[in-house]
Amino acid sequence: MSLIRHVISGCRSLLFKRTADRDLDDEVRQYIEAATQEHMRAGLSRQDAERAARVDFGGIENAKDVVRAGGWEFLVESGIRDLQYAVRSLRAAPGYAIAAVGILGTGIALTTSVLTVSSTVLRQQWPVADPARVVTVLAAKGGPGFSPAEAKYFGELTPIGPANMINLHPGLTIDLGNDTTLGLVGIRYWRLSTKEPAYSLTGGAIPVSGNESLVGDQAEITVERQFRKSLDVLVSLSRFEPSEGAKRGRSLKATTMFAVELNLSV
């Protein structure tokens, strides 16, 4: 049977199930009748010949099920029956249905988020011929001591490290054309626990007076220009203003930071 005829036959079985079952019954009867006539020609009576034909044929209903299971429409029909059963079961227990849908939705969302982040972090590469040969050169002035790797990791020039810290971090990136972008970032830092101090990038303690959780605010402006595929230049200007509690702790003061970052493919 050709593919087109196979598809048409399956659709006919799905849409006109009674007609398909009637045709199958006719085919079974014709086969048994032909076998009966064959046994009668061998000398058996009508009754004995029909009995012998049915014995040779086997279970009629089982044979019908085997024929129905041979087409692709059987999988569709089975899926529809399973879906109907699932809907009836969920309607009978709405509390279980809500819990099941919530758990599945949360699991799918978390899995998608983890895979998206891991794919971005682990597989993203620079758009250069040999990403392994990219070198970062960073020169900074005005802030605390930190390594280029730390600055690249945290993204902004900042005197505040990630330990015991949460932050609100809105940003805006504007495409100026000619492979140039302008970035504007605002950051507000809070201590996660007021029982501990804040910490710098290098791990030094930053005392904050009293039970105040706010550590400070920061604004940063960046200009990035890609001159060619092998050279990317990022200029950053950042201003950090400590909170009153951080000022009373005498560990932080208003700081202006400037950095130039070169990403080279050598």
What secondary structure letter does DSSP report for 210?
Answer: T
Give the per-residue pLDDT at 128. 56
Distance from C-alpha of 194 to C-alpha of 207, rounded to nearest angstrom: 10
Q: Residue 47: inside a domain, yes or no?
A: yes
DSSP conformation class of 12: H
The pTM score is 0.42
**Is 168 within a domain?**
yes
pLDDT tens sequence across 230-266: 778 888 888 888 888 878 776 778 888 888 777 766 5
Parent domain of 143: 131-265
| Run of H or E residues at 163 | none
Same domain for 261 and 135: yes
pLDDT for position 148: 42
The structural domain count of the chain equals: 2
Phi, psi of 217 (to 5 degrees): -125, 150
Chain position carrying tokens 């993203």: 124
> What rounded mean pLDDT belongs to the chain?
76
Residues 185 and 137 in one domain: yes
Which positions ≥6 away from 114 have C-beta within 8 Å?
Answer: none
User: Are 86 and 142 found together in one domain?
Assistant: no
Inside any domain, residue 33: yes
Would residue 119 count as lying in a domain? no
The DSSP output letter for 178 is T
Closest to 220 (Cα-Cα) out of 261, 180, 169, 175: 169
Are 86 and 136 in the same domain? no
Assigned domain for 102 exists: no
Task: Tell me the per-residue pLDDT of 29-39, one tens digit each, with 9 for 90 and over.
Answer: 888 888 888 88
With respect to residue 123, please indicate whether it lies within any of the assigned structural domains.
Answer: no
Percent of the chain with pLDDT over 70: 76
Identify which has the larger pLDDT, 121 or 157: 157
Name the residue among 161, 131, 130 with its Cα closest to residue 147.
161
